[in-house]
Structure 1
Amino acid sequence: MAAKKMKKQADVDRRWSWMVSAVLAAFLMTVAPLAVVLGWRNVGAPAVWIDTAVAGLRQGSNGLSFLDRRTTRYDRLLGGLLNDGFDFESCHSRYQSAMYRRNAGRRPSSYLISKLRRHEALQRRCGPGTAVYSNALEQLKFGKSVALPECRYIVSISYRGLGNRILAAASAFLYAVLTDRVLLIDPSNEMGQLFCEPFPNTTWLLPPGFPLTDYTNFSIDTAESYGNMLKNKVIGTTAAADVSPAQVPAFAYVHLDHDASIHDKCFYWDEDQGLLRHIQWLVMRTDQYIVPGLFLAHAFQEELDLLFPEPDTVFHHLGRYLFHPNNHVWGLVTRYYDAYLAAAQHRVGIQVRVFGAQPNSPELLEQITTCTQKEKLLPEVLTSGEPILSAPSVKTKALLVTSLKSWYYENIKSMYWEHATATGEAVSVHQPSHEEFQRFGAKSHDTKAWAEIYLLSLTDALVTTAWSTFGYVAQGLGGLRPWVMYKPANDTQVPDPPCGRDVSMEPCFLKAPGYDSRLNRWVDITKIVPHVQRCGDAGWGVKLVGRNE
């Protein structure tokens, strides 16, 4: 079998080699006579043109040649992160994404890889369609609790913008891995239509017929929320180690949204995890990246250290494992990338978030240009004098702008169209879409958003807007430590400095816990775990950083 695969790969290599050679030969036969017709007044020019054109034909995505991009054995399994048990036609992006990302990404630990394979087995053994799952649904339907359930579950509610939904699902998944729970994602808000299935031979989507029919409407006021049950003394944690079924509810709703109460945030402490592990069904709502909070529980810390020896890679690994664009979205990504970004020698992404009903802002435009030029991400332009004549071998940069507004893109594009650059670099500016305002729940809107997030993750350098989950997802998937444009104190001045390099590629947990109800006092959670530190774009939030930061 291995010999047949090697022979098939060799045949593919020979065919591509022949095709490239034929294209190059035809090109040279066309260019050489043209050089004679034009004469030899610039005797060195034809050779330069030929060398540049040949390099252009060979130059492909990610710094690989036209031939190498298709025949090199790129790491399609991302260092073992992905399972090889999927049909390629069901999800092209799963095994093609590595071809498009110049930054191959940080390597996952062997422990994480083995843990993912074990979790996939758990999802198959206990997930939808199994007898165990049907039995667990019956228990939930009749409000029965089980002392030692064979399988336990967590349902992640999907709501708010796409960035929030992705971060919420990743957070729920890590919690599921840490507590051996089956993850089920609420399929509403396009979660069942934008992504490929991450687990082989099963589904991560919650099927129809879930007994808690109003679960998507659960809120901070829901009586069955863990915080409310604690506050009202319906449950307690004192006997968590030796709890009986009569003391355990059939399910608990975990409210970890931006407005979570002090009691809701008890979820992050050890005593509460001791009780939660006995509850068979958990339903979680969050619009946050709560992962840094999971590092606060001592019960999880040893396991997290084994899973992520580099703690600033959690979302990078989990995001690339879980979130694969479906074939339609992947088509949008690859067609746009190949048409507008692939030929550039350097790609810069800028994610512009306009808060609220903010109009087109000259101050924000100045912040963008000042940041990118000060940090040498984009060249400055000449406002007067003779333009620099570009040589055939000029360095090219492609700028990808993502924003609901087109005004910023149009102004940046005009700037580089109307003025030469001080370095002689050629800058092309591109924006895939401009929806003008966010449309929650609109399929076409979410499809474009997901494609643009992914395109941003394929750039070589990234500039993001503070507090943006859209940017957080892109930087994590791409393994990029972005330059963050700080939110100004008011809308009429440009911050000084306009931006700064983020301390890690991890998303920020904007609404982290700060009050320990057991100790009845406020605590500085950055003193609990050294690699949980304050966010650069939101000083009240926390994020994971490298161990040596």
Structure 2
Amino acid sequence: MGSVRAVQGERDPSQEAEKRRPSGLGTVTVVFLLALPLLLLFFLFGDRAVASIAADYPVWQRFKVQSSGNASSSRRAERCAHDRLLGGLLSPDFDAATCLSRYEASRRWKPSPFPVSPYLIRKLRQYEANHRRCGPGTANYRDAMAQLMSGRNADRAECKYVVWLPLQGLGNRMLSVVSTFLYALLAGRVLLVHEPPEMEGLFCEPFPGTSWVLPPEFPYTDGFSADSKESYVNMLENNIVRYDGSGDAGALPAYVYFHLEQISLRLQNHTFCEEDHRVLGRFNWMVLRSDSYFAVALFLMPVYRGELDRMFPAKASVFHHLGRYLLHPGNRAWGIVERFYDGYLAGADERLGIQVRLAPFLPITFEVMYEQIARCAREHDLLPQVTGDPGARPASGAAKVKAVLVVSLKPEYYDKLHSVYYTNATATGEVVTVFQPSHDQDQHTEALAHNERALAEIFLLSYSDRLVTTGFSTFGYAAHSLAGLRPWLLLLPDRATMRAEVACMRSASVEPCLHSPPSLVCRAEQDLDPVAHVPFLRPCEDVYFGLKLI
């Protein structure tokens, strides 16, 4: 774990409103009894020291985040009134101790901007029942495995499955597993997740009374690529499967591999055409590998459109709702979130998250990237300007505290912001505190501890009031979509000048971007521009050839 770093701030304590005193004998006793509950509340829920997390984080500078009485009171009210079941998304049928984040995460999120559709809730409960009926350890699963090992597809099967294989980093994995779950909802399949060592315990079980983890005896988890002979596209080209549906379903191979990796920033043909999905539906076992948010592409298919409309009346709520339903940090990762948030961020009047991820295909110097971040913050009033007067004080009352959470593999962005606000007063009188939970320097997707820190930081970012994220970053997409916030996206600079003409742009929706849209060369239609024909699709602000739901 990297260093936790802070800038110290001060405040004047808020004053309690004057209370009317009773008259007559025993006045002192009555006043004391009336005041006792307030004193206890102040003692228990007032400003917290961060000493309790010192054992878990090496701290360069320790301090107590302090805020105005109004802010802390409103935070307490939000915690007391939090919606633990997220509007009905979550089932109450869990032992909370097995997954501390499941019912606790909502205490820190802002209320969702999207009401949950009753139809989506019904579909989730139906899915959970089907997963309990077909999941690992059941007679139906044993029968399905026996059929799979026979080498042939079953003519009739009680249960159908989609096996998700991870690809790329954590952000890509979160986007693709949510997309796969949405496909499972639409296609009547049971989702099973291959959990390699770097993901063991990273997420809690999302479905009550069963497991989504693929049992270790499943034989088909390695060696897949777009060129695999088991891939659907190759089966189609080799005439193993045909659109006309001729032949016995029992004569099909035991499973089909569905490859949805972005190749040259485009998904393969024959992946999101209706006739292809009719063929795919004949297979009882599907193995799927993806690094993309292909949920967007499911909206291009008329066969699924009615169900999607009923589940998501607000089209921009897909990852927001399904991510909150499906992705609960395991207890180790959640411990990082709780200790850091409660110790460093909870008491601030406002929290600004800044996520910096440099694109490997476009090397950008620290100076260029920091200038762009500063320009974005200045142009959109995200951070106060500093003055040359180190002794400046707010005009009246307690100073407003703004906590800035910097999430980056590199420490330089924290160092610079820390220096600016540690050594200079702000023009508004605000106290700006700056934190960075870790700085691993390089991405290590193969390491469980790295992934736990990354997951914790995605959730910490999602508890911001405002967000600045890096364009093209799936890590940033996951954070702002969970939050339900439209972020300011840092746009990629021009290759020639290495400067972005526009520093950042407000996203049109909270949805992630599909970087690699599918080709729509289907038998029933030509290669159409989806944006021109689907009213709730737009090009992405940060990836001009990408697609997003609005």
TM range (shorter): 0.7 to 0.9
Runs of 5+ in structure 1 lacking a partner?
1-16, 29-51
* Counterpart in the other structure of 2:334: 330
Structure 2 CA distance for aligned equivalents of residues 445 and 393 of structure 1: 39
Alignment of 1:427-438 (within 5 A): 427-438=432-443
Q: Which residue of structure 2 aligns with residue 443 of structure 1?
A: 448
Q: Residue 411 of structure 1 aligns to a residue in which SS?
A: helix
User: CA shift at 1:492, angstroms?
Assistant: 5.4
Match of 2:72 among 59, 69, 80: 59
Q: Counterparts of 2:67 and 2:380 in 1: how far apart (Å)?
A: 31
Alpha-carbon displacement from aligned partner over 1:356-380 (angstroms, at most 9, x marks no partner): 3947511110100110121111112
- Does residue 286 of structure 2 align to residue 286 of structure 1? no
What corresponds to 2:403 in structure 1?
398
Q: Check whether the contact 1:346–1:397 (CA below 8 A) recurs between aligned residues.
A: yes
> How much has 1:530 moved relative to structure 2?
1.4
Amino acid at match of 2:537: V
1:14 match = none
AA aligned to 2:419 is: S
3-state DSSP class of the match of 1:516? Answer: coil
Matches within 5 A, 1:47-446: 55=69, 59=72, 63-65=74-76, 68=77, 72-188=80-196, 190-212=198-220, 215-239=221-245, 244-246=248-250, 248-259=252-263, 264-356=268-360, 358=363, 360-382=365-387, 384=388, 387-390=391-394, 391-446=396-451
Report the secondary structure of 1:543's partner residue.
strand
Structure 1 residue 19: Cα displacement: 6.2
- Counterpart Cα distance in 2 of 1:199 and 1:290: 22
Q: 1:477 to 1:459 in 2, by over 3 A?
A: same
Distance 1:247 1:25 in 2: 71
Distance 1:374 1:96, change over 3 A: same
Structure 2: distance between partners of 1:364 and 1:260: 26
- CA change 1:334–1:525 in 2 (3 A) is same
d(CA) in 2 for partners of 1:396, 1:262: 45
One-letter amino acid of the structure 1 residue matched with residue 39 of structure 2? S
Quote the offset at 1:64 in angstroms.
2.2
Q: How many positions carry a matched residue from both structures?
A: 495
1:211-251 CA-to-partner distances (Å, cap 9, x unmatched) read 32xx3321011001001111222211123xx6522553321
Using the TM superposition, give the Cα deviation of residue 262 of structure 1 relative to its aligned residue in structure 2, in angstroms: 8.1
2:483 equivalent to 1:478: yes
The 3-state SS of whatever aligns with 2:340 is helix
Contact kept? 2:272, 2:520, Cα under 8 Å: no
Residue among 22, 40, 49 paired with 1:22: 40
Instruction: Give the whole-Å Cα distance in 1 for the aligned partners of 2:196 and 2:507.
Output: 33
Q: Which amino acid aligns with 1:187?
A: E
Q: Do the aligned residues in 2 keep the contact of 1:363 with 1:492 (CA within 8 Å)?
A: no
Distance, in Å, in 2 between the alignment partners of 1:75 and 1:262 is: 40
Contact 2:539–2:545 (Cα < 8 Å) also in 1: yes
Cα deviation digits, residues 411-444 of structure 1 (max 9, x gap): 0111111222121111101000000011121111
Q: Could you report, residue by residue, the CA deviation over 1:503-549 in whole angstroms, capped at 9, with x for unpaired residues?
A: 1110000001134142685321223321122111101110111xxxx
The answer to whether 1:532 aligns with 2:540 is: no
Look up the equivalent residue of 2:491 and give its one-letter code.
Y
Provide TM-score, normalisation by structure 1.
0.86
Higher helix share: 1
Contact 2:486 2:510 in 1 (8 A): yes
Q: CA RMSD in A?
A: 2.4
Q: Report if aligned partners of 1:360, 1:407 keep a CA contact under 8 Å in 2.
A: no
Partner of 1:522: helix, strand, or coil? coil
Distance between the aligned counterparts of 2:283 and 2:45, measured in 1?
Answer: 69
| Map of 2:20 onto structure 1 | none
Structure-2 change in CA distance of 1:429 and 1:187 (3 Å): same
State the partner residue of 2:57. none
CA distance in 2, matches of 1:312, 1:263: 22
Deviations 1:486-516 (A, max 9, x none): 0001385431210000011100000011341
Shift of 1:181: 0.3
Question: What SS is found at the alignment partner of 1:415?
Answer: helix
CA distance in 2, matches of 1:312, 1:333: 26
* Counterpart Cα distance in 2 of 1:326 and 1:423: 40
Q: Secondary structure at the match of 2:422?
A: helix
C-alpha separation in 2, matches of 1:407 and 1:261: 31
Amino acid at match of 2:255: F
Give the partner amino acid of 1:209: E
Give the aligned residue type for 2:393: L
AA of the residue aligned to 1:477: L
Please give the alpha-carbon distance, in whole angstroms, between the structure 1 residues aligned to 2:535 and 2:152.
Answer: 41
Off by >6 Å, runs of 4+ in structure 1:
25-28, 260-263
Q: Look up the match of 2:62.
A: none
1:464 to 466, 469, 481: 469
Structure 1: distance between partners of 2:427 and 2:310: 49
Q: Closer, same or farther in 2 for the Cα pair 1:23/1:230, shift >3 Å?
A: closer
Query: Does the residue aligned with 1:365 lie in a helix, a strand or coil?
Result: helix
- Normalised by the size of structure 2, how large is the TM-score? 0.85
Aligned partners of 1:317, 1:534: CA distance in 2, in Å? Answer: 22
Percent of aligned pairs sharing the same letter: 42
